[in-house]
Amino acid sequence: MQSLKTLGLVVLVTVAFQAFAAEESKTLFNGKDLAGWHQDVPKLDNKPDAPGPFIVRGGMLVSLGRPGGHLITDEVYENYRLEVEYRFAGKPGNCGVLVHASTPRALYEMFPKSIEVQMHHENAGDFWCIAQDIQVPDMEKRRGPKAEWGVDGDKQRRILNLTDGSEKKPGEWNRMVIECLGNEIKVWVNDDLVNYGFGCEASKGQIALQAEGSEVEFKKLLLTPITEFSPEKKAE
């Protein structure tokens, strides 16, 4: 009888833990509409009824690429893991996930103040500094001469990622994991650790997706609160 009670307790604890874990994770895309997001597309400022570059198709969130702009969460987030599954629907090109986003149109009257995690084909995982800065351990090697660093359009804003060949072939699904904890950011692409930054000028903000020339399909945008980073080899 005691063993049955113990087994029952173990089952209850396991179920409770699984339910707690499920409650903590939050999908940012419900598969039906763009609830929880808003679009910021400068070319549509005077055309409020015109269709934007972000749609839902076949249960996926799709960035059509044009006109250029951003799909931005209504909520602000901090200390989280964001799992993104994406693929280029046609010819691969440019797109990105922006974290710690705040002031809209802070750069080129288009890009919100943020750190961009690049999704550009063959450059996934690069950091781009948009009106705010971040550091990496080997800055001059990956960003160029210090005198050229900056966060506006005339400065070197790009910080190269750590790997080559982490992306899947065009048309195949990629899994990008972005972990933001305090003022640090880690990025994995298909389980390869591709970037790590620290000293970010912001530790929270909105999350944004880009429309930047190429059509991209997203089938997963899952956010989970974290208190520590995943192991460096991969993010589970």
8 Å CB contact between 227 and 81: no
- CATH placement of domain 28-225: 2.60.120.560
Comparing 154-158, 185-189, 231-235, the range with the smallest average pLDDT is 231-235
pLDDT in tens, 50-69: 999 999 999 999 999 999 99
Give me the pLDDT at residue 234, please.
56
Give me the pLDDT at residue 48, please.
83
**Entry pTM:** 0.89
Q: Check pLDDT > 90 for residue 159.
A: yes
Report the C-alpha dihedral over residues 150, 214, 168, 27, rounded to 10 degrees: 80
Proportion of the chain above pLDDT 90, given as a percent: 85
pLDDT in tens, 96-138: 999 999 999 999 999 999 999 999 999 999 999 999 999 999 9
CA distance 142 to 149: 11
- The ranges assigned to domains in the chain are 28-225
Give me the pLDDT at residue 23, please.
54
